[in-house]
Structure 1
Amino acid sequence: MTIATALDALSSLLGERLSRSKSELELHARSESYFPPVVPDAIAYPQSLSDVQGLVKICAEHRCPMIGWGAGTSLEGHGLAVRGGVVIDFTRMNKLLELRPADMDVTVQPGVTREALNEELRATGLFFPVDPGANATLGGMAMTRASGTTTVRYGSMRDNVLGMQVVLADGRVIRTGTRARKSAAGYDLTALMLGSEGTLGLVTELTLKLHGIPEATSAGICAFPDMHAAVSAVMETIQMGIPMARIEFVDAATARAFTAYSGMAMSEAPHLLVEFHGSDASVAQDAERFAEIVADHGASTFRWSAREEERRALWALRHNGYYAILASRKGARALVTDICVPISRLADAVEQTQADIAASLIPGPILGHVGDGNFHAILLIDPDQPAEIEEAKRLSHRMAERALALGGTCTGEHGIGMGKTGYMRAEHGDGWDVMGQIKTALDPMNLMNPGKLVPAR
């Protein structure tokens, strides 16, 4: 049994939807981060559950690794075929299967992107809130337990996936969860699959919780004299119970990159970007209360607006943050860090990280979803300079160890992939071995995205 014989059988099953062209292989050999390319043996493009079941059974028979692929926006090497095999690209499974407005839920295939879903929902008065920034596929977002700018109000994928249809490593199809909003019936298999990064199965359907589009939305921005003042303002806002929909932090270096990239003038200082959802009266009141808090922390005048075009411009700026920062150093690649700490330790974590970066060889602008204690440093490296790559890894290592020491996690939203397995023992102890045992029970031949997340075998 060889991968070559598996590919012959897969070609008979999928026809032209199994690709071995050089351009397709190279496209699926790269990630958004610093990892070197890893060329898979083939790319499969399933269009239905039967396609996925068929290819899984063939791969199991021939012991061919299977790696799920969504939009390719992951940052820890999740989709790289590090042990060869077939990358399964779900972008052609992109149908909205059933919308139930009365129950405020929807069932979709995994290749539907979050932006495409919300476009389909526009006429219903409903929306799907999880917003990681990138226009990722919902299957990929589920497999990495994604979150993002709106988590502070609406939660992450963990809070918004009701159930999934999953093909296991032996070809069995299971359904996890129900459309009921709660259940006490046995193990929570939906929670098990969320964040499993394709190591336990391949998701073929998702049932998602929807939310009502708010009557009114306001958004605004303000600058601070230093990082401590900005983070302190965030903490007080949360402690006061002001219901923010988003609250994002960018440091002075990020503000400078935003200005150069977008032309929207920002002072070279730390900023908070914030959004409120509710009624016309409540969003105005929340904005006024927030303005009072930030003024007490030395902020510039809080400028806010309920006009849609101004709000869109503000969040387009934030969503393009990664690309704006990349553009600030010509030819650079990025190692994107991702830690999350208890909100009371956020100021310490941000300030110590900034001090480390200031003393290093490389730039590393900081931004993040500070409303839930999660932030990122975009460590910019010259990929042809090994010393810079090692320096970025050293800084990232210090951030991860600091997060664990402060009672946090080495990753708030990007996941483990192959980039952060080195922290799993420290974060989970014997729990990491239990994860490996679950993996062995469901995938005894280690064919589902091998080399990721769990202890090596």
Structure 2
Amino acid sequence: MSLAEMQAPIHRDEAAIAAVVEGLRATYGDRLSTSQAVREQHGHTTTWLKTQAPDAVVFAQSTEEVSDIVKRCAARKVPVIAFGAGSSLEGHVNAPGGGVCIDLSQMNAILEVNAEDLDCKVQAGVTRKQLNTDLRDSGLFFPIDPGADATIGGMTATRASGTNAVRYGTMKDAVLGLTVVTATGAVIHTGGRARKSSAGYDLTRLFVGSEGTLGIVTEITLKLFGQPEAISGGMCSFPSIKAACDAVIMTIQCGLPVARIELLDPLQVRACNIYSKLTLPEEPTLFLEFHGSESGVREQAETFGGIAEEFGGSEFRWATKAEDRTALWQARHDAYWASFTLRPGAKGVATDVCVPISRLADCVAETQRDLDENKLLATIVGHVGDGNFHVLVLVDEEDAGEVERAEAFVGRLNGRAIDFGGTCTGEHGIGQGKMKYMVKEHGPALDVMRAVKQALDPDRILNPGKILPEA
């Protein structure tokens, strides 16, 4: 399946779309936009997939409004796509059949914080940075950190992960309950504030990661954590990718409670040095962070230093000053943008895979050989504590041969990860870009997913053309 086939247009009913848009305009006035700039911004994607804009964008302000919009779309079988911050990477918010985009960014209220129970309830448009700023004085924090300042609703929809996942888990671990608008416009509530339940099907986990194809998440109840007494962070370089990965494996096997452990390949380190004005050795490098008591983080850092030395690593330079750690982790979060300094004007083809940690070194090494053999310039970074790594291929879109080689490389990378017992995506999600790998990864189980989609959205109006390839 080519990129063009993945983005094949979905049947449009022009009269139905026009009628729905005009009806919504009468109700929502200035909060409905049909301007080209706004529509394209809500169909944009930060990867190489072509933008496919919706016919209209409505800025909803409540669950009741989302329900109303969906009911109107359902009545005429018009596609409806939820939009958070637009930071997803696989064409998740594209509108291949046009329709109505519901922008949830104005639904940004923190509804309740229950400090004693370590949980909170937020609207879908709340961003992770907004939430943590609000929680600062409570002594609590929300640890899921995908890098971008994504909305909590979007993070729930894509089952987001990030740098803290090795210790705190992913969105599937953090979400306790949801308010969801279904394909008929009905409002349902799943889960709750209890930390465990045996009552029926786990509908919460069904919607987490469904990318808006089964329902639109409008409110989320989240698990929170106490802010650690002390945090230490630092970096260590290694003679090879294998040595760095082996140090990670040993760290995890020893039970060291590392909060973050990130791998940068030499090319990515070079990019970070240029972009963030650092002077790190251009070698395979691990960034780490430990959370705990003052004595605990010191002991953890010293233990890791011994592990690094065993695998030929440099001296582990660590610091507890917030400003020093912030500079280091800001450079890591800016890695995507930093990569473009290596080839100005290039288009970035971003992809991620996840494998069992024991296969990580082999998978990364084979990936680097693949890139070299096909003369592709790419950086590699990874949340290697859980076997997840990202590749950003820098491509000249005007060079058809290079584009073809890059697309073929992405296919081999995803196949390789699945063959190693992993997955075609650890945290980016499927969207449009990863659909072609779903058959290889899931086999007959894909038919069960199709059955769920058919049961919950028989007219296929919710974010059509995503996740599930046609049978």
TM-score (norm: length of structure 2): 0.96
The answer on whether the counterparts of 1:169 and 1:200 sit within 8 Å (CA) in structure 2 is yes
Name the structure 1 match of 2:271.
Answer: 257
Matched residue count: 457
Which sits farther off after the overlay, 82-91 or 116-125? 82-91
CA deviation after TM superposition for structure 1 residue 116, in Å: 0.5
Which sits farther off after the overlay, 205-214 or 86-95? 86-95
CA deviation after TM superposition for structure 1 residue 21, in Å: 1.1
Name the structure 1 match of 2:5.
Answer: none
Paired amino acid for 2:140: L
CA deviation after TM superposition for structure 1 residue 441, in Å: 0.6
Name the structure 2 match of 1:145.
Answer: 159
Which sits farther off after the overlay, 407-416 or 383-392? 383-392
366, 369, 374: which is aligned to 1:352? 366
Name the structure 1 match of 2:104.
Answer: 90
Structure 2 gap ranges (5+): 1-14
Matches of 2:295 and 2:413, distance apart in 1: 41
Q: Does the alignment pair 1:412 with 2:426?
A: yes
Paired amino acid for 2:177: G
40, 65, 79: which is aligned to 1:51? 65
Name the structure 2 match of 1:314.
Answer: 328
The answer on whether the counterparts of 2:436 and 2:469 sit within 8 Å (CA) in structure 1 is no
CA deviation after TM superposition for structure 1 residue 347, in Å: 0.7
CA deviation after TM superposition for structure 1 residue 26, in Å: 2.0
78, 85, 91: which is aligned to 1:77? 91
The equivalences for 1:22-421 within 5 A come to 22-421=36-435
Paired amino acid for 1:381: V
14, 27, 30: which is aligned to 1:13? 27
Give the match's secondary structure for 2:120. strand
Aligned-pair identity (%): 52
Matches of 1:84 and 1:26, distance apart in 2: 11
CA deviation after TM superposition for structure 1 residue 327, in Å: 2.6
Matches of 2:25 and 2:77, distance apart in 1: 16
Q: String of CA shifts for 1:172-192, please: whole Å, max 9, x gaps.
A: 111010100000000000000
Matches of 2:398 and 2:154, distance apart in 1: 30
Name the structure 1 match of 2:12.
Answer: none
Q: String of CA shifts for 1:147-178, please: whole Å, max 9, x gaps.
A: 01000000000000000000000011110101
The answer on whether the counterparts of 1:13 and 1:54 sit within 8 Å (CA) in structure 2 is no
CA deviation after TM superposition for structure 1 residue 388, in Å: 2.1
Matches of 1:272 and 1:32, distance apart in 2: 26
Matches of 1:173 and 1:456, distance apart in 2: 28
Matches of 1:112 and 1:387, distance apart in 2: 42
Paired amino acid for 1:222: C
The answer on whether the counterparts of 1:14 and 1:51 sit within 8 Å (CA) in structure 2 is no
Paired amino acid for 1:20: T
Structure 1 gap ranges (5+): none
Q: String of CA shifts for 1:251-294, please: whole Å, max 9, x gaps.
A: 00000000010111111111000000000001000000000100
Give the match's secondary structure for 2:469. coil
CA deviation after TM superposition for structure 1 residue 385, in Å: 2.3
Paired amino acid for 2:133: E
423, 436, 445: which is aligned to 2:437? 423
Matches of 1:100 and 1:200, distance apart in 2: 29
CA deviation after TM superposition for structure 1 residue 384, in Å: 2.3
Give the match's secondary structure for 1:217. strand
Q: String of CA shifts for 1:13-42, please: whole Å, max 9, x gaps.
A: 211111001221121231010111212101
Deviation beyond 3 Å, 4+ runs, structure 1: none
Paired amino acid for 1:246: R
Paired amino acid for 2:326: R
CA RMSD in angstroms comes to 0.9
